[in-house]
Each structure stands twice: as structure tokens, then as C-alpha cells.
């Protein structure tokens, strides 16, 4: 089936949930109004639906090719990428001074969702390039920015992130790649990196690798890492790609999903690299790229969820099976008429729209924090990023699995396409930091560092929304009641985590993933509730549309069917640590 980008809902989220009043008041965004943004997203939606979505099945079937160190992309990818570059889509959110369009992050998030819903394998290349651009903007020298940013923002060059090594996965302190200083100011980079997304391909003129490596006199562990620019082709003085660097692709991985995205093993053999910033600050710089990538991975999850939902909805309307339980027909009916199928579809829709709502809100927070001096917005943005990554990636696996379920036996057959979404989604809770790493980050760096101050501010903001819901109609009051109960579970779990973090650290971290999922579920429900208020206001003003009515119905379903899971997570956190920690695993 064809992909229908949800532009109306994306625009609704930008207008009502992305703090648009504050974002649009910033000088750099003052020239953009919502009609401009709508036109951009409509154009991008058409490109994704018509040019990228057809590549998904082709890429999944053929995969990226590898022969004698060269990687070739499946049929149609080079042509589509050339159109992507020609239309300037890589440039959407990047600064005007380097050839970007300068749009807000919420618009960028909408674009990332649509591109990855169309084909996640294709979308991974621009996603990694965005991360490299972000890192260079914040940490690169003026000369490095002048050399690399314009072709990266144009999409003529792509970027990668090189962290992982065979002996160093999440434990980056074990990175062994060496960087030897040379007399001309460059460094010789030697080592092997694995799991490098788009580490080798034939789509762009050059590939700019950002590589973590260790100088000979560096301190042991993660504090001794430095970050280097290592171009696949060395850049000539006129800015064009020149001779090849000593970076070789040894192989690409055979994977469960995203098969057209080449995941490379790269060997650096005294390759020429250029230090970014200061030595021994590489991990700090790389986290800038990782933070951007983590948010984008969450948005990828929303895209996969949307695509799986659309496919399941279409199948449920077409598949005729069984008479209705209420006896209204003696003939078999479309399965969408059966109550449990409706339950599954509504769960898929509400999880998807909840993720989209919280991602738009987080994008707005990131913009305000980046371009302003309000520490409250910065703290909330930092708090929300692991929620977007953890919640949206985990829920994408669930939504894709439910999509298979809707198809029944045909969902297990590749020809329907439902299985591909499930396979593609499975990487999302793993790469750019597993769900457990996001949860540890939330607990260790976000909660314990400030004594829970930001988490309590998060709860206060939710309570403010509850007050508005309480003074509205019956649906809003019902949403507010459920939201208050979920917030109560969050606050109780927060108090328990902070207390045990001081006296029983293992018990606290035993509940870190349940706490992440509790907070993510609450955040999604909160943003859907705010959306319901906005929809009701529009209805009261005479905008009587099916879309607005559905927004309220989705929020109500989420609060009655999904928000109660916050109480379950609270129970896991507060009552479940001992059964987990005391469990035996006999030889």
C-alpha cells in the first residue's frame, strides 16, 4: 500500500504543542509562519510518498551490495538521493550562513518522521549527516566549518559517527583506535570500527567520518578520548574531494532489518585525521552528535509506527472475516468491525500520536534552550530527550508487532510488508544507546544530579494542564482524572528512586527502565491531553472537523487504556527490585 504522510497531524503538533509562540518569536525564525511551514512539509511529504516509499520493499529485498571493498546501493537509491540533494532537503533546519534553510527543529522532526516512515534504510543516511553537522557547528574550528559544513548541509557529502569497536560497545572507555600526532598538525588514525551506519556507500561525493580515538599520552578510560574528522577522500584546497584516505571497508553486516542501510566494518590504516577542539574532550563532543541522534531515533520510531498503523488500518478495512458478535449482520464483515481489532488499532494510533506529540514538544524545548537563556527550558529538554528515544523506540516495536497481529497469518508472510516494519523497528531500542542506557542516563545524569528538581518541574507542568482539563467538558475532565492518577504514580516512583539512589543504588537502577517507560507514557499522555484541549477550543470556535474529533478520541483512549500502565510501572519500581536482584541463574 502507498504511504500517506500525516501532514495535518504534524502541523497540528507544531502549532499547538511545539511551544510555537516562543519559538516563532525568536529572531532567526520570525520570517517563517505556519503557512510557509505547511507548504514545506506538503512538498516534502509528496517527495517521501512518491520517490522514497517505493524504495522500501526494493531495498529490503536486495539489500546493500558489497564486493572488493566497495558498497553499492540497491536499484533506485542513487537516483532518489540525487533528487533529495537537488531539492535541498538535507538543509531544512541548518543555519543560513552555511547554505541551510534555517527552519525550527520541530519542522525537522516532522521531516525526519516522514522520510523514515517512507523508508528507514534511506532515512538513516541524512540522519547521521545531521548529527555530524550538529557536532561540527558546536565544536568545529572556523576552518573546519568552512571546509565541511556547506557540502554536508547540501547533502553532497554524508557524515558518520565512529564509536564502536569489537571490544568497546557501550563501554567507550575501552576504545583502542590510535591517533598519532604528525608534524603538519594532522594525526594518523589507526584502528577498526564496527557498526558504522553508511560507513561506505555510493550516494555521495565524499563521506566525513567523525572518529573517537586515543592519543599515545592520553589518560586511560573515556576521559582520554579525542574526536577527529577523517574524510573518506582528502579535501583539496579548493574544497573538492581529492585522493582517497586510508579508510577501507572490510565488510558490511547481514541484518534482521534496515537491509538497504550499509552497516560497515571500517579499517583505519594511518588515515589522515584532523582534531576537533581539544585532545581528551572527544566524548564530550561526540555526545552532542549522540544526543541529536538519540532524539532522531525516537522520531524514527514514530515514523515506523505510523507506517505500520496505516498498513494495518488498510488491511482491517479490506479483510472480510466472521460475523459481528452483536448479530447485526448474518454475513462476514470487515475485521475493523470487531471490538478487539478496534482496540488494537486504537492502541497503535494513540501510541503513535502520543510519541509524535511529545517529540514536537521536545523539539520546541530544544530550540528555545539552544537559542535562549531560559534554564528551565534547557533542563526540560535534557529530561525529555531520553524519554523520546526510549519510549518511542520501544513503542515502535510494539506497534509494528501489533501490525503483524492485525494481519493474522498474512502478517507473518513477507509479501504483506507488515513483517518488514517489525524487523526494521527492532534496531531502534538498541542503537544510539539501548533503552537501559537511556534509563541509566535519565536516573544518573538527570534525576540524581539535580535531586529530582527537573522531574518535579515536569510534574508541576502536567498538574497545570490538569487544572485546565478540570474546567472543560466531560471528556476533558475524564482525561484530567486519568492524567492526575498517572502523575501521582510518577511522583511516588520519583520519591522512591531518589531515596534508594542514596542508600541502595542497585535497587534504584533495577527500576530504571520501568521509570523511563512510566515517564515516557506520562509525557505522551500529557501532550495528547494538551492536544485535546486545543482541538476542543477549535471545535468551540466552529472548526467542526472529523480530524479534531479524532484528536480528542485518541487522547481519551490513551488516558483510559495506556496511562493506567503508569501504575503498573510504579509497582515494578517500588515492589520489584528484590525479586530481580535476588534471582539466581544456576550454571
Instruction: Read off the CATH number of the domain in which 93 is found.
Output: 1.10.540.10
Structural domain count of the chain: 3
Q: Is 39 exposed, middle or buried (0-12, 13-18, 19+ CB in 10 A)?
A: exposed
In three-state secondary structure terms, 111 is helix
- Going by pLDDT thresholds of 50, 70 and 90, the confidence category of residue 288 is confident
The whole-number pLDDT of residue 371 equals 76
- Is there a single domain that holds both residue 139 and residue 190? no
| Nearest CA among 405, 406, 398 for reference residue 315 | 406
Instruction: Give the mean pLDDT of 442-447.
Output: 93
* Residue at 517 is within a domain: yes
β-bridge mates for residue 162, sequence order: 211
Check pLDDT > 90 for residue 563: yes
- Is there a single domain that holds both residue 181 and residue 144? no
Q: Are strands 206-214 and 157-162 parallel, antiparallel or unpaired?
A: parallel
In three-state secondary structure terms, 327 is coil
- Is there a single domain that holds both residue 453 and residue 553? yes
Please indicate, yes or no, whether the overall pTM of this predicted structure exceeds 0.85.
yes
The whole-number pLDDT of residue 512 equals 97
Instruction: Give the mean pLDDT of 422-447.
Output: 95
- Is there a single domain that holds both residue 118 and residue 235? no
The alpha carbon of residue 285 and the mean position of all alpha carbons in its chain are separated, in whole angstroms, by: 19
The whole-number pLDDT of residue 452 equals 96
Give the residue, 284 or 64, on which the prediction is more confident.
Answer: 64
* Residue at 98 is within a domain: yes
- Going by pLDDT thresholds of 50, 70 and 90, the confidence category of residue 172 is confident
- Going by pLDDT thresholds of 50, 70 and 90, the confidence category of residue 286 is confident
CA distance 388 to 358: 7
CA distance 296 to 289: 11
The whole-number pLDDT of residue 392 equals 98
Of 152, 179, 209, at which residue does a domain stop?
Answer: 152
- Is there a single domain that holds both residue 87 and residue 169? no
C-beta separation of 74 from 252 below 8 A: no
Instruction: Give the mean pLDDT of 137-163.
Output: 97
What letters, b where the CB count within 10 A reaches 16 and e where it falls short, cover 66-101? beeeebbbbebbeebbeebbeeebbbbbbbeebbbb
- Is there a single domain that holds both residue 117 and residue 12? yes
Q: What is the CATH number of the domain that holds 254?
A: 2.40.110.20
CB atoms closer than 10 angstroms to residue 327? 7
Q: Give the H or E element holding residue 274.
A: strand 263-275
Angle ∠(434,439,442) on CA atoms, nearest 5: 130
Check pLDDT > 80 for residue 373: no
Residue pLDDT, tens place only, 2-48: 999 999 999 999 999 999 999 999 989 999 999 999 999 999 999 99
Q: Any catalytic annotation for residue 205?
A: no
C-beta separation of 194 from 166 below 8 A: yes
* Residue at 533 is within a domain: yes
* Residue at 161 is within a domain: yes
* Residue at 477 is within a domain: yes
Residue pLDDT, tens place only, 308-337: 999 999 999 999 999 988 888 889 999 999
Q: Supply the range of the domain harboring residue 470.
A: 437-581
CA distance 35 to 11: 10
- Is there a single domain that holds both residue 140 and residue 164? no
**What are the φ and ψ backbone dihedral angles of 229, each rounded to 5 degrees?**
-90, 125
Of 152, 172, 192, at which residue does a domain stop?
Answer: 152
- Is there a single domain that holds both residue 241 and residue 122? no
* Residue at 162 is within a domain: yes
CA distance 261 to 140: 27
C-beta separation of 210 from 132 below 8 A: yes
Packing angle between helix 512-540 and helix 7-17, nearest 10 degrees?
90
Residue pLDDT, tens place only, 54-106: 999 999 999 999 999 999 999 999 999 999 999 999 999 999 999 999 999 99
Residue pLDDT, tens place only, 376-399: 999 999 999 999 999 999 999 999
Rounded to the nearest integer, the mean pLDDT of the chain is 96
The whole-number pLDDT of residue 41 equals 98
**What are the φ and ψ backbone dihedral angles of 180, each rounded to 5 degrees?**
-105, 125
- Is there a single domain that holds both residue 23 and residue 58? yes
Check pLDDT > 80 for residue 445: yes
* Residue at 165 is within a domain: yes
CA distance 385 to 28: 23
Check pLDDT > 80 for residue 576: yes
Which is the catalytic residue, given 113, 432, 466, 491?
432
The whole-number pLDDT of residue 534 equals 98
Check pLDDT > 80 for residue 372: no
C-beta separation of 56 from 114 below 8 A: no
Instruction: Give the mean pLDDT of 276-283.
Output: 95
Q: Percent of the chain, pLDDT > 90?
A: 93
- Is there a single domain that holds both residue 126 and residue 260? no
Of 133, 152, 171, at which residue does a domain stop?
Answer: 152
The alpha carbon of residue 172 and the mean position of all alpha carbons in its chain are separated, in whole angstroms, by: 22
From residue 337, give the alpha-carbon distance in Å to each of 50, 313, 321, 350, 408.
31, 12, 10, 18, 15
What letters, b where the CB count within 10 A reaches 16 and e where it falls short, cover 370-398? ebeeeeebbbbbbbbbbbbbbbbbbbbbb
- Going by pLDDT thresholds of 50, 70 and 90, the confidence category of residue 170 is confident
The whole-number pLDDT of residue 486 equals 98
- Is there a single domain that holds both residue 112 and residue 215? no
* Residue at 432 is within a domain: no
- Is there a single domain that holds both residue 126 and residue 204? no
β-bridge mates for residue 248, sequence order: 267
Amino acid at each position: 500500500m502507498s504511504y500517506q504522510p500525516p501532514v495535518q497531524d504534524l502541523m497540528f503538533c507544531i502549532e499547538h504543542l511545539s511551544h510555537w509562540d516562543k519559538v516563532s518569536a525568536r529572531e532567526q525564525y520570525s520570517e517563517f509562519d505556519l503557512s510557509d511551514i505547511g507548504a514545506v512539509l506538503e512538498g516534502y511529504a509528496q517527495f517521501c510518498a512518491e520517490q522514497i516509499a517505493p524504495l522500501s520493499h526494493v531495498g529490503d529485498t536486495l539489500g546493500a551490495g558489497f564486493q572488493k571493498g566497495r558498497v553499492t546501493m540497491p536499484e533506485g537509491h542513487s537516483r532518489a538521493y540525487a533528487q533529495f540533494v537537488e531539492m535541498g532537503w538535507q538543509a531544512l533546519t541548518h543555519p543560513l550562513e552555511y547554505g541551510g534553510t534555517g527552519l525550527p527543529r520541530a519542522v525537522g522532526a516532522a521531516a525526519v518522521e516522514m522520510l523514515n516512515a517512507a523508508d528507514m534504510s534511506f532515512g538513516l543516511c541524512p540522519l547521521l549527516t545531521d548529527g555530524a553537522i550538529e557536532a561540527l557547528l558546536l565544536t568545529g574550528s572556523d576552518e573546519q566549518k568552512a571546509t565541511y559544513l556547506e557540502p554536508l548541509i547540501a547533502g553532497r557529502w554524508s557524515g558518520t559517527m565512529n564509536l564502536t569497536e569489537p571490544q568497546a560497545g557501550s563501554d567507550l572507555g575501552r576504545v583502542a583506535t590510535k591517533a598519532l600526532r604528525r608534524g603538519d598538525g594532522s594525526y594518523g588514525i589507526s584502528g577498526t570500527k564496527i557498526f558504522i551506519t553508511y560507513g561506505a556507500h555510493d550516494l555521495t561525493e565524499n563521506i566525513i567520518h567523525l572518529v573517537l580515538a586515543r592519543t599515545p599520552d592520553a589518560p586511560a578510560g573515556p576521559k582520554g578520548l579525542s574526536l577527529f574528522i577523517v574524510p573518506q577522500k582528502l579535501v583539496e584546497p579548493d574544497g573538492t574531494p581529492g585522493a582517497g584516505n586510508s579508510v577501507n571497508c572490510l565488510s558490511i553486516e547481514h541484518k534482521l532489518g534496515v537491509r538497504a542501510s550499509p552497516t560497515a566494518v571500517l579499517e583505519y590504516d594511518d588515515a589522515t585525521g584532523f582534531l576537533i577542539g581539544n585532545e581528551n574532550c572527544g566524548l564530550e563532543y561526540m555526545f552532542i552528535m549522540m544526543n541529536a541522534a538519540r532524539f532522531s531515533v525516537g522520531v524514527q520510531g514514530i515514523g515506523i509506527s505510523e507506517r505500520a498503523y496505516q498498513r494495518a488500518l488498510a488491511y482491517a478495512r479490506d479483510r472480510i472475516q466472521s460475523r459481528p458478535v452483536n448479530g447485526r449482520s448474518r454475513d462476514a464483515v470487515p475485521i475493523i468491525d470487531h471490538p478487539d481489532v478496534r482496540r488494537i488499532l486504537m492502541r497503535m494510533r494513540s501510541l503513535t500520536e502520543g510519541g509524535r506529540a511529545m517529540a514536537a514538544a521536545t523539539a520546541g524545548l530544544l530550540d528555545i534552550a539552544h537559542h535562549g537563556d531560559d534554564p528551565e527550558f534547557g533542563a526540560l529538554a535534557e529530561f525529555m530527550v531520553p524519554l523520546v528515544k526510549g519510549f518511542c523506540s520501544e513503542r515502535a516495536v510494539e506497534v509494528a508487532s501489533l501490525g503483524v497481529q492485525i494481519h493474522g497469518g498474512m502478517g507473518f508472510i513477507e509479501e504483506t510488508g507488515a513483517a518488514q516494519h517489525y524487523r526494521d523497528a527492532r534496531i531502534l531500542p538498541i542503537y544510539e544507546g539501548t533503552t537501559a542506557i537511556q534509563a541509566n542516563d535519565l536516573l544518573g545524569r538527570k534525576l540524581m544530579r539535580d535531586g529530582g528538581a527537573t522531574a518535579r518541574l515536569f510534574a508541576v507542568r502536567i498538574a497545570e494542564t490538569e487544572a485546565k482539563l478540570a474546567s472543560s467538558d466531560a471528556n476533558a475532565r475524564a482525561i484530567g482524572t486519568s492524567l492526575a492518577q498517572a502523575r501521582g504514580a510518577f511522583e511516588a516512583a520519583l520519591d522512591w528512586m531518589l531515596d534508594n539512589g542514596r542508600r541502595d543504588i542497585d535497587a534504584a537502577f533495577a527500576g530504571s527502565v520501568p521509570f523511563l517507560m512510566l515517564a515516557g507514557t506520562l509525557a505522551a499522555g500529557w501532550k495528547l491531553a494538551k492536544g485535546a484541549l486545543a482541538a476542543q477550543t477549535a471545535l468551540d470556535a466552529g472548526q467542526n472537523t472529523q480530524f479534531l474529533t479524532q484528536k480528542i478520541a485518541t487522547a481519551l483512549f490513551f488516558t483510559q487504556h495506556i496511562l493506567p500502565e503508569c501504575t503498573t510501572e510504579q509497582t515494578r519500581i517500588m515492589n520489584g527490585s528484590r525479586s530481580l536482584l535476588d534471582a539466581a541463574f544456576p550454571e
